[in-house]
Chain A
């Protein structure tokens, strides 16, 4: 059981916006700005899409954005596209170590 809790699945239609949450505790996610997000298409290598809660690496679409409120970090994808269908993982310092959330499967209907 991961100490970072993500919904198992979310879905949306092309053009819509969705948000994936990543919930830790008041002593980790809430305290440290060390949340990153990774996109992984089946059979492919994970790709960094957000780091340090809100920062976007060069080359990543500005449709991806990150935020944090209290012990919950969030990834928002706006203007959903079919190629956004993938698994998304948060990663942070939590429970005295670093770990990934359990992952969220995004389906674009």
Chain B
């Protein structure tokens, strides 16, 4: 049974960093790309980008370059999202989502979401 299990809620101060993990099971991790999606409080979904799980090469959507870093730990079938120099506007729920089609055409399985709160 396919599962994407994300790490727990985070509360961080502005300027700090946070790492969100997405541990997968029930399928071959490197056969599917991993995407990240942000949802700010009361707002819609934003596609942040994707990472090639075979090569580790990330692609970031406009607006998510510089402070956002996608990475992998293929030994434990896990994708990670790191956000550096956190700002209040980074407060959101972050989802990992398995990519299908060309890897980012659509998402057939999602993690449960990780709430990140940035506040002093």
List A residues at the B interface (Cβ < 8 Å). Answer: 2, 34, 36, 38, 40, 45-48, 51-52, 57, 87, 89, 91, 93, 97-103
Contacts and interface: CB of A to CB of B under 8 A. Distances in A.
B77 to A, nearest CB: 19
Contacts of B47: 91, 97-100
Interface string B41-52: 000111100000
Interface residues of B, number: 21
Interface in B46-67: 46-47, 61-62
B7 interface: no
Given A52-B106, A91-B106, A100 B101 contact: no
Contact of B44 (A57, A89, A93): A89
A48 B44 contact: no
22 contacts: A2-B44, A34-B101, A34-B106, A36-B107, A45-B110, A45-B112, A45-B113, A46-B110, A48-B106, A48-B107, A51-B101, A51-B105, A51-B106, A51-B108, A97-B61, A98-B61, A99-B46, A99-B61, A100-B44, A100-B45, A102-B44, A103-B45
Given A97-B47, A103-B45, 14 more contacts: A34-B101, A34-B102, A34-B106, A36-B107, A40-B45, A45-B110, A45-B111, A46-B97, A51-B106, A52-B105, A91-B107, A98-B47, A98-B104, A100-B47
Contacts of B105: 34, 36, 51-52, 93
B84 interface: no
A99 B45 CA distance: 9
